[in-house]
Amino acid sequence: MAKHIEISRALYESMVQQVLSVYPIEGCGLLAGKDVRIQQMYAVDNIRNSPIVYEMDPGQQLRAMIDLEENGWELMAIYHSHPNGPPTPSASDVSQAYYPDAAYVIISLIDQQHPTVRCFNIVSGKVTEIPLQLV
């Protein structure tokens, strides 16, 4: 479980742009890296095509997991947007946090000009915010 995560400005902006590009549905994807540093972003389609819930395309998710393992990376974080909600985990986000070793990045698009991005550890229903540092 990470104490903080570091991400480059370029990857951070790519992640935010990807979720903005699918607005008003929830955008989602995976972030991979090593130690505390994100190395790669994998945008994944939301097969629910919904503004209030996401489900990653299983084929795209599997390909991302294979690629990150082949590169020697770990699944560092799972990200998704809340098109019209706060940048905090919803009850369903908490109940569906199946990867306790990965962080959860939530991007609120209430203000699309200034999206709010926050990062959390979610373990056994307990939510703890952790810093997402731009480097």
Residues annotated as catalytic (active site), given as ranges: 26
Cβ(48)–Cβ(55) under 8 Å?
yes
What is the edge-to-edge ordering of all strands in the sheet holding 37-44? Answer: 126-130, 116-123, 103-108, 74-82, 28-34, 37-44, 5-7, 132-134
Cα within 13 Å of Cα(103), Cβ side: 28
